[in-house]
Structure formats: C-alpha cells, structure tokens
Amino acid sequence: MVSLTRERVFVGLDYHQLSVQVCVLDDTGRVLHNASLANDVAAIATVARRYGQRIEAAIECCCGAANLAKQLREQGWSISLAHAGFVSRMKQNPDKTDFADARILADLVRVGYLPKVWLAPDEIVELRRLIRFRQQLVNERRNIKLRIRGLLRDERMPVSTESGKAWTKGWLSLLPTLPLPATAHWILEQQLARLTDLGQRIVQIEQRLKQRLEHDAVVQKLLQQPGIGWVTAATIRAEIAEFDRFHSGKQLARYCGLSPRNASSGERQSDAGLIKAGNPQLRAVLIEAAHRLLWREEHWQQFAAGLLRRGKPKSLVVAAVANRWIRRLYHQMQPEQLAA
C-alpha cells in the first residue's frame, strides 16, 4: 500500500463497459499507476485514493461515461468529460491503446488543456431521452409513410385528389378501399395500423413533455417567442439546457451547428456551408423555426430580402436567419432576463 504523500493527483479514465483503464499522474507527470480495473466506482476510487487526497480527473465522453463521472463526483472527485474527437486528434499518434489513452487524458488535465464536454444534470438527461425517443418515433412514422407511398406506386394506384390532401383523415380512409392484390392489401392494412399506433404514442409523449415542462421558466420564455411551439421549445431546452453556460451568442450558434465553416486559404476567402457540429435534431428544429419567422415576422423578411438581393441562395438565407435568431435569443435567456 502506497502512503498518502501527495495532496493532488491527476487521473485519466479510459471507459469500457466491463472495465476502466485508470492512469494516475503526479504534478510532474510521472506515472504512479496505469492499469485496467473493473467498471466499479468503489474499486476505482480506492485505487486513486492511494496516491492523493485531491483528485482531478477526466473521462472521455461516451455511452455510460457520464453516469460514472457523476458517481465519482459524489466521491469528492473533480472530474470532467473530455471531447473524444479532440482528444484523438491531439494524440498525434496512429496507435491506439487503453494505456496511452488513459495517460493522455490524465496529462491533459494536469496541464490544463483538456477539451471539455458539459456534464448535464439528471433532469436534462431525462428530458433529452424523452425528446430523442419522440424523434425516433417520428422518423419511424416517416418511413412507414414512404413505404405506403412506394406500395401505391408499385401497384400504379393513384389516389383521387377529391379525397383531400395526402395523409389527411379523408385520404387515409380511402386507402383500405383501393382494389389492390390480396398481399398488397394486407401489407397496407398492417402499415396503416402501425401508423395509427405511432401517432397515438407520439401524442402521449408530447403530453408528457407538456406536463414535465409546464412550470419550466426557460420553456415558458421560449413559448413567448414568435413561431415557437412546445416541441421546438422542449428540444431547445433539452439540447441547450442552460444558456449561460456559453460565453456568447456566437459560441451558442456554433454549438447549434448554425455557423458557416471557413474554407479560406491564401488569397482565397470563402465559406463551405455550415459546420458539421452540434445535434442534428436541434439544428433541424432551429431551421424550421427560421422558416416560420420568415413567414410571420417583417424584420426577418427584410433581413432575408437583403441577402437575396446580394445573390445568396435561399438555403443559406434561412440558415443565416436561424443563426441571428439564436444569437439574439442568447441574450434574452440569461438568468437575469428570466427572473425579470
């Protein structure tokens, strides 16, 4: 047993489902311990406590890592989630081993250069799960609609426009009466049943979201914004969570994936579309919100008109509106504004 001769040590954790590689460094970067342990909080904490009283640690962000990080915080650790992509690029080494991964995490903590990921509180984690589960069902419903369309095209079966717009109640009620072959008719009935079931489950999730967020100050403030409904507000609340964790509206827009990606070199100065970052679902709802703003708000219509006159494509204009809107929203959603 090593005596407690050091006040502070730095720990890197390379997480796996069954095991965790634990590397412990001292202030000078000397390796005190680097070995694989069982994925157990007590075992990891016991080993680290052998080498120091105050523990500063990092663990790469992956499935299950955040839960372990929260449990270690309860043990008194100062632990941060590390951005796996940035850490990988900083290694500058084609070889990958758990031994080396744990060590670089500990070393990045030691020198204060760890690329951190925000560790969301439990209530935000639960809200994200609910929002993402709803999106999974929405995606499944869309796929079923595509299969129904494909089945009708395959049978060369146009649906009369007199029945109404596609996917309305009148249009759907006409589908079972179509003269389809027996197998195609049976498949159509199964797909329609699944479509009905998914619609009901999505409604249940949306009702659960309203019950969960009806007293949330951030959501209520978002609902006061033009063109923002419950689903958009809930998605923003889940994925952004706390607006004051960002240093500026520009940083928030980049987190949302709404910033242009620079592709300049030498004398050539140009953009290359939006950056490939952020949660795709969050960016999608913000782009949809921008379309609604362009339809309802004169201010954004004038802003878009100016960009269009300069020859900007419509897709870029909508993204620019979303970018400007979220940067303006950043200032409106600060704690002092919410309390006013």
The tokens describing 181, both together, are 């072959």
* Residue 255 to residue 125: CA distance in whole angstroms: 18
Helix H, strand E, coil C: the string for 5-66 is CCCEEEEEEEECCCEEEEEEECCCCCEEEEEEEECCHHHHHHHHHCCCCEEEEEEECCCCHH
In this structure, the chain runs to a length of: 340
User: In a structure prediction context, what are the per-residue pLDDT tens digits for the chain, which is 340 residues long?
Assistant: 444 556 899 999 999 999 999 999 999 999 999 999 999 999 999 999 999 889 999 999 888 899 999 999 999 999 999 998 888 888 777 778 899 999 999 999 999 999 999 989 999 999 999 999 999 999 999 999 999 999 999 998 876 656 568 888 888 888 998 899 999 999 999 999 999 999 999 999 999 999 999 999 999 999 999 989 999 999 999 999 999 999 999 999 999 998 887 766 666 666 667 777 788 999 999 999 999 999 988 999 999 999 999 988 898 899 999 999 999 999 999 888 777 6
pTM: 0.85
240: region left, alpha or beta (phi > 0 left; psi from -120 to 50 alpha) = alpha
CB 210 within 8 A of CB 229: no
Q: Residue 266: what pLDDT?
A: 66
Q: Residue 2: what pLDDT?
A: 45
Q: Residue 5: what pLDDT?
A: 54
Q: Residue 166: what pLDDT?
A: 83
- The amino acid sitting at 30 is R
Q: Residue 294: what pLDDT?
A: 93
Partners of 116 in the β-ladder: 82
- Which residue in this structure is represented by tokens 């640690």? 57
Question: What architecture (CATH level 2) is domain 8-117?
Answer: 2-Layer Sandwich (3.30)
